[in-house]
Amino acid sequence: MNLLWTILLGLINAVVVGVLVRRVITVGTGWVRNTVVSLVIGLSLWPITLQAFSILGITDHGAVPWVGLGFQAAMVFLLLYGWFIVVQMFVLLAIELVVPSGSFTTVARSASRLPTWYRRVRRLIQIQRILLKFGLGRYLRPRLPSLRLNRREIAKTTAEAFAAAGVTFVKLGQFIATRADMVPIEFVEEFSKLQSEVPPVPFAQLEPELVRAWGRPVDEVFAEFDTVPLAAASVAQVHRAVMFDGAEVVVKVQRPKLRRQVRADSDIVLTLAQQVERRAGWARKVGIVKLAAAFVDSLAAELDYRGEAAQTIALRRADIAHDDSLVRIPEVYTELSGPTVLVLERIEGVPLARAGTRLDRLSALARRDLAEQLFEIVARQVLTTGIFHADLHAGNIIIDGGGRAGLIDFGAVGRLDKRDRRDVAILLVAFEQQNSQAATSAVLDMLGAPVGVDVRELQRDVGQIMMQFQTAPGGYSALFSQLIEFFVDHGFAMPSTIATAFRAISTLEGSLKLLDPQLDLLDLVRAHGEGLLAETRSMSGAIEDAKLYAATTAPLFAEFPARVSRVVQHLEDGTLDIGTSGLGLDSIKELVRSLVDSLVQVVLSTALILGGVVMMAANFGPQLTSELKLFTYFGGWILLGGCTLAAIVLAPSLKNRSL
C-alpha cells in the first residue's frame, strides 16, 4: 500500500514540478523532455526523502508519504522539494546544451531526405573522381608558385574535366567563358570551346512532356511532327513540325528529368566552389563562390523557356520595322510555349559554321551586304534598344539558300541601360577616331573610378591600347579581351552587363569574318558609328531626359529652404542629431537596461551561492535535528535561491546560441 501511495503521489508531484519548472525557465522545457525528467524526479522524491530523514536522524514521519510529518521532517522535506525543482532545471538546461530543442524533429525530418543525400553524395564522389582523374587535385593546394606559368594548362584540363562531368558542368564552363571580367583570358578561351554533344532522347520519352505542356496529344496540335530531331544538345533537342495552317515550326523541348539533375549538380557546384575557395588563394582572388552562385541563378533562368520566349519577342519587336532586312528573327508561338517547351517559326537553312558551300555561291557584294546588315542589327540592339543577342557565334546564325540570315537560340540575351549604351557607343567611336580622352571619360562613366586612380596616367594607358589596336592584327575581339584585362588589372569593378556587351561584339566579329573574310569591323564602326551614336544622344531624347530630371529634382529645390530652417532650429535648440538615426535612443536604453539587469542578477546569484556555502560550512546554531543545525538549514535555502537565480540567468543564453 505504501508503494502504491508513493507511485501515485510521485506522479502528482511530477506534474507539479514540471509546471513549476516551465514557469521559471522557458528554454529546454519541451513537453517530451520535461515530462520524462519530471517523472524520474517525482518518482524518486519520496525514496530520497526517506534516505535523507535517516541520515539526519528524523524518525517521526508517517507511514503514508507527506502525511503525519512532524515539524522537523516537514522543514527538511520542503528544502528537499525546492532542491528537486532546481536539480530538474539544471538537468533540462544540460540536456538543452547537449541536445538543443528541435533536434529530434530535425533528425526525423532529415531521415526522409536520406535518399536525396545519398544520391548527392554519390554524385559528388563521382565529380571529385573526375577532377582527380584529370589531375586537378594538385591545383587545389593553398600555394601554387607556378600558377601563372601553368594557367593555360589548368584551363585546358579543367575544360576537359567539365566536359566529362556532364551537362551542368558544361554549362558552367560556358558561363565562365562569358565572365572575362572575373576570370583569366586563358579560361575564357578554353571554356568557350566547350560543347555538349550527346545522343538524342527517343521521342517516346519526350512525348509525355509535350502532352503535359499542351494538355492534348501531339497529333492534335500539329499536322506533322518529325520524331527524329533536327538537333540535339545536352539540355534540349529540336524537332520540326507543321501547323494545321501549313506553317513550319521548330519545337524545342527540354530533356526529361533534367531539372532534378541540374538542381543536384548545382548544389555540388556550390559545395565544390566553397571547398576550392577555402583551399586555394587564386580562387579567393577570383571570387569563385560568387561566380558559382551567379551561374546557378543564370542556369535556373535558362531552364525556364518562358524567359527565352519573352527575349525573342522583345528582339523581334525591336527589329520589326526592318521588314526588308536580310536578317530574320523567328516568331514565337506563345500559346504553345511554356517552361519546358518553346515553339518558334522555322528558319530554313544551315548554321553559318557549316554554310561554306552556300556562301561560295554568293557574290562578294551579297556577302558584304549580309555582313553589314548583321552588324547593323546587332549594333542597334546593343546601342539603341538595349536588349541584344549575347551569343551570336556561327552556330546561332542560319544561312538560307537565298543568302538571307536568321538568328536563333535567344537563351543568352544581354541588357544595357541608356547611359551604358551611350558610353559603349562613345568608346567604339573614340577608338576609331584615336581619341583617348573621350574613351577614358566613357570608361570612367561606365565603371567608376577606382580609389587613388591617376586619370591622366589612365588616359595615357588607354592611348597606348589604341595605338596597338591600330597597328596589331586581331580585330575587336582582341581589343575587348585586352580592354577587359586592362580594366581588371587597374582595379575597375566591371559590371557583368558591360562584359556581356563586349563579348557579344567580339563573338559577332568572328561570325562576320566567316561571311566576309575581307571585312574590317573598324570600317563598319567608321561607317555606322556616328549614326548609331547620334541615335543614343538624339536631341528629342535629351530634351525628354532633361524634363524628367527637372520633374524629379524640382521638389528637392522647393523643400530646400524649409530643410535649412529645420537644421538651424535644431542647432539653436541643441537637438541636432547627425548620423545616429539608425541607433535609436530607446533601443540603446533598452540594451543598457537589459545588460544592467543581467549583471545584477549574476552578482546577486553569485553572492547567494557563496553565502549559502559559507553558512552550510560554518555548521553552528541551534539544533534542528540531531544531525542538522539551524544555520546549516538556512544556508541550504540561500544556496537554493542562488542556484535558482543562476538557472534563470543561464537559460536565455542557450536560447539563440549558434552551434
650 pLDDT exceeds 90?
A: no
439 shares a domain with 401: yes
Q: Report the number of distinct structural domains present in the chain.
A: 5
Q: Does some domain include residue 334?
A: no
The pLDDT, as a whole number, for residue 586 is 66
pLDDT of 224-241, one tens digit each?
999 999 888 778 889 999
Q: Is the pLDDT assigned to residue 244 strictly greater than 90?
A: yes
pLDDT average, residue stretch 63-80: 70
One domain for residues 128 and 266: yes
Is residue 328 in a domain?
no
228 in a structural domain: no
Distance CA 222, CA 247 (A): 10
Give the pLDDT mean for 171-179. 77
Q: Does residue 6 sit within a domain?
A: yes
Residue 342 lies in a domain: no
Which structural domain range is residue 64 located in? 2-108
Q: What is the pLDDT of residue 123?
A: 77
- Same domain for 473 and 362, yes or no, is yes
Q: Does one domain contain both 365 and 420? A: yes
Distance CA 158, CA 62 (A): 84
Given a cut of 50, whether residue 145 has pLDDT beyond it is no
Give the per-residue SS3 of 442-476.
HHHHHHCCCCCCCHHHHHHHHHHHHHHHHHCCCHH
Last residue of a domain, one of 108, 128, 155: 108
Residues 127 and 167 in one domain: yes
Residues 420 and 527 in one domain: yes
User: Is residue 295 a part of any domain in this protein?
Assistant: yes
As a whole number, mean pLDDT of residues 515-535 equals 71
> How many CA atoms lie within 13 Å of 382's alpha carbon, on the beta-carbon side?
30
**Residue 344: strand, helix, or coil:** strand
pLDDT at 146 over 50: no
Q: Are 248 and 240 in contact (CB under 8 A)?
A: yes
pLDDT at 105: 59
Mean pLDDT of 616-644: 80
Q: Which residue has the higher pLDDT, 52 or 206?
A: 206
The mean per-residue pLDDT over the stretch 267-272 comes to 84
Q: Which residues contact 327 (CB under 8 A, 6 or more apart)?
A: 319, 370, 373, 374, 377, 404, 405, 406, 407
DSSP category for residue 192:
T
Please, are residues 280 and 142 in contact by the beta-carbon 8 Å criterion?
A: yes
Q: How confident is the model at residue 320 (pLDDT cuts 50, 70, 90)?
A: low
Q: How far is CA 47 from CA 2, 85, 600, 625, in A?
A: 11, 16, 38, 20
Among 92, 108, 124, residue at a domain's last position: 108
Task: Tell me the three cell numbers of residue 11.
Answer: 506522479
Co-location of 359 and 494 in the same domain: yes
Residue 642 reports pLDDT greater than 80: yes
Residues 6+ apart with CB under 8 A from 611: 635, 638, 639, 642
371 and 431 share a domain? yes
Give pLDDT, residue 425.
83
pLDDT, position 63: 52
CA distances from 44 to 11, 75, 88, 401, 636 (A): 10, 19, 12, 95, 20
DSSP 588-603: HHHHHHHHHHHHHHHH
Q: Rg of the chain over CA atoms, in angstroms?
A: 38
- Name which of 186-200, 251-265, 577-591 the model is least confident about: 577-591
Whose CA is closest to 65, among 24, 133, 11? 11
450-503: pLDDT as tens digits: 777 888 888 888 888 888 776 655 556 667 777 777 777 777 877 778 878 887
Q: Is the pLDDT of residue 305 over 50?
A: yes
137 band by pLDDT with thresholds 50, 70 and 90:
low
Q: Which residue bears the cell 578561351?
A: 189
What is the predicted pLDDT for the residue at 657? 53
Is residue 252 within 8 Å of residue 341, measured between CB atoms? yes
**All cell numbers assigned to 142:** 593553398
pLDDT bin (cut points 50, 70, 90) of residue 143 is: very low
pLDDT of residue 381: 84
pLDDT interval class at 341 (50, 70, 90):
very high
Dihedral of the alpha carbons of 312, 313, 319, 324, in degrees to the nearest 10: 90
State the DSSP code for 60: -
Band of the pLDDT at 339, cuts 50, 70, 90?
A: very high
624 and 482 part of one domain: no
Task: Give the Å distances, CA to CA, from 507 to 318, 481, 500, 645.
Answer: 21, 11, 10, 72
Burial of 564 (0-12, 13-18, 19+ CB in 10 A): exposed
Q: What's residue 658's pLDDT? A: 42
Sequence length of the chain is 659
For residue 48, the model assigns a pLDDT of 80
* Tens of pLDDT, residues 585-611: 566 777 777 777 778 878 888 888 888
pLDDT at 149: 46
Identify the sign of the CA torsion 483, 484, 485, 489: positive
**Given this model, what pLDDT does residue 332 score?**
94
Highest mean pLDDT among 174-188, 203-217, 304-318: 203-217
Compare 47 and 113 and report the one with higher pLDDT.
Answer: 47
Question: In this structure, is residue 340 part of a structural domain?
Answer: no
Among left, alpha and beta (phi > 0; psi -120 to 50; other), residue 488 is alpha
Q: Which residues pair with 415 in a beta bridge?
A: 387
pTM over 0.75: no
Q: Which range, 389-398, 574-583, 649-658, is most confident?
A: 389-398
What does the pLDDT read at residue 1?
Answer: 45
- Residue 247: per-residue pLDDT: 93
Return the number of other C-beta atoms located less than 10 Å from residue 234's C-beta. Answer: 16
User: Domain check: are 384 and 413 in the same one?
Assistant: yes
Mean pLDDT over all residues of the chain?
77
Checking if the pLDDT of 206 tops 70, the result is yes
Do both 606 and 623 map to the same domain? yes
pLDDT for 243: 95
- Answer whether residue 255 is part of any domain: no
Under 8 Å CB-to-CB from 536, ≥6 apart: which residues?
Answer: 383, 384, 418, 421, 422, 425
Which of the given ranges, 93-102, 202-211, 268-277, 555-564, has the highest pLDDT on average? 202-211
Q: What are phi and psi of 67, to 5 degrees?
A: -115, 130
Does residue 195 register a pLDDT over 70? no
> Within this chain, do residues 390 and 494 fall inside the same structural domain, yes or no?
yes
DSSP reduced 3-state for 118 = helix
